[in-house]
Amino acid sequence: MKLFKKRNSDIAIIKIDNITKEAKEMGWTDKELYRSESKFRFPFGEEWGLVCYMDQGDKIENVQKYWITIRSKTGSITKFYKKKYSLGKELTQDSD
């Protein structure tokens, strides 16, 4: 099966590196944070990691158990959800 890959900027990787310890303490995995390949073209599919969504000037504003908040350079806010909670499942659910 062909995998599509996305090259991420060094700045995006550094931004994720800066929150990795905190995110892992809340249950985030390396794949959820750093994965940059998928069987679908970016941004389709659920396999892409947070690093793929970071643009120049974006800032990680908040790390939570179920989502990470990104503020763009224009001020808009995006929430990157953990995959199992992104499809309308209960956010208070603690079990896998």
* Dihedral sign, Cα of residue 27, residue 20, residue 30, residue 79: positive
Q: How many CB atoms are closer than 10 A to CB 48? A: 22
* Residue 94, pLDDT score: 44
DSSP state letters, 3-42: -EE----HHHHHHHHHHHHHHHHTT--HHHHH--EESS-T
Answer yes or no: pTM beyond 0.75: yes
In the chain, where the domains are located: 4-85
On the 0-12 / 13-18 / 19+ scale of CB atoms within 10 A, 78 is middle
Q: Which residue has the higher pLDDT, 37 or 83?
A: 37
* Residue 5, pLDDT score: 95
pLDDT in tens, 37-50: 999 999 998 899 99
